[in-house]
Structure 1
Amino acid sequence: MNLKQLEYFVSVAETLNFTKAAKKCFISQTAMTQQIRALEEGIGAALFIRDKHHVELTPAGRVFMNEARVILARAEEAVKLARSAAEGISGSISIGFIRGYEQSLFSETLRNFHEAYPNISIRLIRENMNALYGLLEDGECDVAFNLSPNVCKFQELSHHFLKAYPLMAVLYPGHPLAARKHLSYRELAGEEFIIMQPKGRPNDEAEEVILCYNRGGYVPNIVSREKEVQTLLLMVSAGLGIAVLPEYAVRYYRNTRNLVVIPMLKEEGEKEEETLDFEVSWLMENHNPAIEKLLQWVKVMNVTE
């Protein structure tokens, strides 16, 4: 039994005429008769009572007609879903994002994308920078919203620049530098740093260490390494150290009483603010069509921020 036989059967059952059904299906009457006979043999039951002047469904034929219509409808729907998935209109996508980015307007990006493509299911993965690159390479993540300092190490990845985020020094209110409008790395040389450094991440991959060394000429005194932004900010507010974070991670804390957020300058005495590039990345060999839909949305609509 195959779908064509079901189509032929339904056509005969609806017209109760082999000649009309054959014309409707663009086959000969002989071929129609042979296909119906093969279907009945496969089922093991007669579906029609027929003679030269009369065609009628048997009880088995009436039951089978209802089921055949359901099967054909489901098959047609399956084809539509498959085509939609191939075009990226339905399906699924796993989206990774760096820890702290949930404090940004990332939720608006997700909401707008979901409204545009409601049949694409979304799975979210929150991780640190290098872990996200690894998940992309392993195929466990389709796209990642991430900082871009180390993307050159991953030759299999494509990436699209989104925005340069300012870097901010985060201090407790009683800190001697809390009244400053801007800060340079050299001015933080004697400070105790609390950094975002998930387990297993070496110091030479920490943005804070790289920037302090390149801009200020020193390796920062790290007193604590935290995995969550909220814990880091709580420690800063308690006076246990200072932090340097991208603007998106502290956007909603700039006007709080227990934290002071100050823009960082690239060089002491200059006006150019320090920034970190932010991007969306994906594995070149990942052919999930939903990726292109998300990328089009991000590029065209510019809804990331």
Structure 2
Amino acid sequence: MNLKQMEYFVAVAEQLNFTRAARQCFVSQTAMTLQIQSLEEKVGVPLFVRDKHHVELTAAGKVYLKEARVILIRAEEAAKLARTAAEGVYGELTIGFIRGYEQSRFSETLRSFREAYPHISIHLVRENMTTLYKLLEDGTCDVVFNLSQFTQSFEDLEHRFLKRYPMMAVLYPGHILSGENHLQYRDLAREDFIIMQPKGRSNDEAEEVLICYNRGGFIPNIILREQEVQTVLLEVSAGFGIAILPEYAVRYYRNARNLVIVPLVREDGSAEQLDLEIGWKRENKNPAIEKLLAWMKTHEYTE
């Protein structure tokens, strides 16, 4: 049996007339009769009592009519859901974001998008910079909010600039540099660094190493690697070492008594900055990605 046969059956059951039902379904009366006969064979019982002048439902036909109507309604609903899913109105979206970014107003972005597309289910993954790009590669994440350091290393990656964040040196009170209004990377060459990286990774895989080398000309002495911003800040405040973090990660700690946050600047006095981007894999055809990108394009990004 199929949905078309159910539609024909419901038409005959409502009209109690094969001719009118055939006309309603735009088929010949012969085709209608053959389809009903085929349906009855598949169901295994007669659904109609009929002769040349009279058509009525059997007891089994009355039961089948009730269920057939439900099935046809559900089938139409399923078709509508499939169409809206293909358009990105329904579906799922796995969003990765860099560790520490939860300190920003990222939640406001997510909330606004959910209000616009309440039927897109969002899953969040928080990771470090390099891992986020790998999660795009293996399909774990559909899109990522990440600092754009290694975009050029991934051929299939599409990306869009979102915002530029100032970089901050985070020191403990009493540090010899804590009284400065601003610092350059080279001023930190002799410091002990606390970074947000998984333990066990070699130094040449740490983003902070590349940034310090490219911008300050030195390889930082990394003494601790942590998973959480709060742990990094606690260890800095305890005098274990210093950290370099984007402004969004420390914006709520600018007035903390046990931390000193100093802007980093370049030789010309302009702010040291890192770009935040949204990235996605070119071959990922999840339609919800396009909805998110279009939404972000039409809404000013103010993280």
Instruction: Classify the TM-score, shorter chain.
Output: over 0.9
Q: Does 1:231 align with 2:231?
A: yes
Corresponding letter in the other structure for 2:83:
R
For residues 163 and 204 of structure 2, what CA distance do their matches in structure 1 show? Answer: 24
Q: Is the partner of 2:232 in helix, strand or coil?
A: helix
Alpha-carbon displacement from aligned partner over 1:110-148 (angstroms, at most 9, x marks no partner): 111111111111111111111111111111111111111
Contact 1:106 1:304 in 2 (8 A): no
For residues 108 and 205 of structure 2, what CA distance do their matches in structure 1 show? Answer: 30
For residues 147 and 199 of structure 1, what CA distance do their matches in structure 2 show? Answer: 20
Map of 2:100 onto structure 1: 100
TM-score (norm 1): 0.96
Map of 1:215 onto structure 2: 215
Map of 1:275 onto structure 2: 273
Shift of 1:209: 2.1
Alpha-carbon displacement from aligned partner over 1:193-212 (angstroms, at most 9, x marks no partner): 11122234332343332233
Shift of 1:252: 1.2
Q: What does 1:155-234 align with in structure 2 at a 5 Å threshold?
A: 155-234=155-234
Shift of 1:224: 1.4
Q: Is the partner of 1:102 in helix, strand or coil?
A: helix
Q: Is the partner of 1:276 in helix, strand or coil?
A: strand
Gapped regions of structure 1 (runs ≥ 5): none
Q: Which moved more, 1:140-149 or 1:196-205?
A: 196-205
Q: What does 1:6-155 align with in structure 2 at a 5 Å threshold?
A: 6-155=6-155
Contact 1:89 1:119 in 2 (8 A): yes
Percent of aligned pairs sharing the same letter: 69
For residues 121 and 302 of structure 2, what CA distance do their matches in structure 1 show? Answer: 19
For residues 145 and 202 of structure 2, what CA distance do their matches in structure 1 show? Answer: 21
Q: Is the partner of 1:273 in helix, strand or coil?
A: coil
Q: Is the partner of 2:284 in helix, strand or coil?
A: coil
TM-score (norm 2): 0.96
Shift of 1:282: 0.7
Q: Is the partner of 2:97 in helix, strand or coil?
A: strand
Corresponding letter in the other structure for 1:293:
K
Q: Is the partner of 2:176 in helix, strand or coil?
A: coil
Q: Which moved more, 1:165-174 or 1:2-11?
A: 165-174
Shift of 1:304: 5.4
Q: Which moved more, 1:236-245 or 1:49-58?
A: 49-58
Contact 2:163 2:301 in 1 (8 A): no
Does the C-alpha gap of structure 1 residues 131 and 207 become closer, same or farther in structure 2, counting only changes over 3 Å?
closer
Contact 1:171 1:243 in 2 (8 A): yes
For residues 201 and 28 of structure 2, what CA distance do their matches in structure 1 show? Answer: 72
Q: Is the partner of 1:199 in helix, strand or coil?
A: coil
RMSD: 1.3
Corresponding letter in the other structure for 2:173:
P
Shift of 1:173: 2.0
Gapped regions of structure 2 (runs ≥ 5): none
Contact 2:193 2:223 in 1 (8 A): yes
- Residues paired across the two proteins, number: 303
For residues 27 and 284 of structure 1, what CA distance do their matches in structure 2 show? Answer: 46
Contact 2:86 2:287 in 1 (8 A): yes
Shift of 1:240: 0.9
Contact 2:142 2:289 in 1 (8 A): yes
Q: Is the partner of 1:141 in helix, strand or coil?
A: coil
For residues 232 and 36 of structure 1, what CA distance do their matches in structure 2 show? Answer: 73
Map of 1:293 onto structure 2: 291
Alpha-carbon displacement from aligned partner over 1:80-106 (angstroms, at most 9, x marks no partner): 011011000001111111111111111
Corresponding letter in the other structure for 1:75:
A
